[in-house]
Structure 1
Amino acid sequence: MFFDSWNEIFRVLVMAGLAYPVLIAAVRVSGKRTLSKMNAFDLVVTVALGSTLATILLNRQVALWEGALALGSLVTLQFVTAWASVRFRSVRRLVKAEPTLLLHEGCLLHEAMRRQRVTPDEVCQAIRAQGTGALETVHAVVLETDGSFSVIPRSQYGSGSAMDNVPQRQTRHHGAGQQPVREPGDRQGPA
């Protein structure tokens, strides 16, 4: 259970010494984008590369050259997909998600949050992580294509040119799917 044989230990060490440089060479040849996490597709390729490397190291039935071919194939497919998505809008739409606006001008966009399976608590957590305590001081929260949140304070919104590729559905103040934000202790209606 804890130890099979010295031969297996030696095999893993040799395979690691040979497979790791193959992986490094493949990644260097394909460019920085191969290990980026710019979107879900990139993340899947990164995880697949790690899984393939582990299989090469631990599975006796996988020869080094088979593993090298698998690593090279993944890197090549990722490179071709990234290349095509830069040049062809249809490919880009197929492999990349759009960023999603979750909060606009201090109002939560509940329909967008439902579609993306994001809770108001998660949006608030992202805002607090940026050092902001009040939703009203935030112009926008965007769920990015890599799953991270971008929080844009009102004071830093500027011209909003970075928001050009974010669909602006239902962004009218208190429009459909939105709820005005109230601080705890605020009273609704006349006092």
Structure 2
Amino acid sequence: MSEFIEVMFRTILAFIMLFCAARLLGKQTISQMTYFDFIASITLGAIIANLSFNSSLKTHHMVFSFTWFVFVILLIAFISLKSRKARKFFAGDPTIVIQNGMILEHNMRKMRYTLDYLNQQLRGNDVFDIHEVLFAIVEINGTLTVLKKPQYRNVNKQDLSLQSSPEEVLPIELIMDGQIIHDNLTQNKLGKAWLESELQKRKLQLGEVVYAVLAANGKIYIDTYIDNISSPFDKEPSN
């Protein structure tokens, strides 16, 4: 029984350490991984996994190894902030794969980047014709950034010389999962009475609302638990 208790303790300790490290290292390590971030994440995962269940390894040795590796990651991140050469060494450089509608096969071969994957990434950027592309660049985190030729870009209000109302605030979440977010109301000088009156205008009770947000243009978006959709597209087929 003592072995199970030890594994439970080590697992909880591993989770706490990994959570603290993720908060310390920041969002970039967990969302947009470079070569170094990828290696760091795998190594941290391996250390944590061994800490969780490999009882043949001493706990304090694994804790020291994990702590030291996190320190090395932070040290390299600090060096990268101070040195552009270090950033290029650890993160790599963006690579152009399309220029003026022409695929740069040499650059693709260096990255082992296939045409199938290139087409997939282009479709993800709303591009179905390579001739529309002025530049396509594979960023250091593996994502594809696409700049279309001027004649294929979307028209915006500035192009049409149309006036647009300025938006200086972010959308404000008012209700989530049927609960009022009081902090957001207080920070934005909005009263609970005002929110309740907005619900009354729409003949809604608080318990009926899943999500409510005040958009930057002053309009309120409200989603209820009952959607009143007779044939939802995501309905599972019956067997």
Output the TM-score relative to the length of structure 2. 0.57
Offset of residue 129 of structure 1? 2.1
Offset of residue 39 of structure 1? 1.0
Distance change >3 Å, CA 122–CA 31, structure 1 → 2: closer
Which protein has greater RCO, CA pairs closer than 8 Å, 6+ apart? Answer: 1
- What corresponds to 2:148 in structure 1? 153
How many angstroms apart in 1 are the aligned matches of 2:3 and 2:112? 45
Q: Which runs of 5+ in 2 are unaligned?
A: 155-239
- Determine which structure has the larger strand proportion and give its number: 2
How many angstroms apart in 2 are the aligned matches of 1:90 and 1:135? 33
Which structure 2 residues correspond to residues 11-160 of structure 1 after superposition, within 5 A? 11-154=6-149, 155=153
Q: Output one character per residue of 1:25-60: Cα deviation in whole Å (capped at 9) or x when no partner.
A: 333344444545341101111111111100101211
Distance change >3 Å, CA 45–CA 60, structure 1 → 2: same
Q: Output one character per residue of 1:74-103: Cα deviation in whole Å (capped at 9) or x when no partner.
A: 111111101101111332232121010000
How many angstroms apart in 2 are the aligned matches of 1:55 and 1:22? 13
Q: Computing the radius of gyration over CA atoms, which structure comes out larger, 1 or 2?
A: 2
Q: Output one character per residue of 1:83-133: Cα deviation in whole Å (capped at 9) or x when no partner.
A: 101111332232121010000121101111111111222211211122221
Q: Determine helix, strand or coil for the equivalent of 1:83.
A: helix
Q: Which runs of 5+ in 1 are unaligned?
A: 1-5, 157-191
Q: Percent identity?
A: 25
Offset of residue 138 of structure 1? 1.8
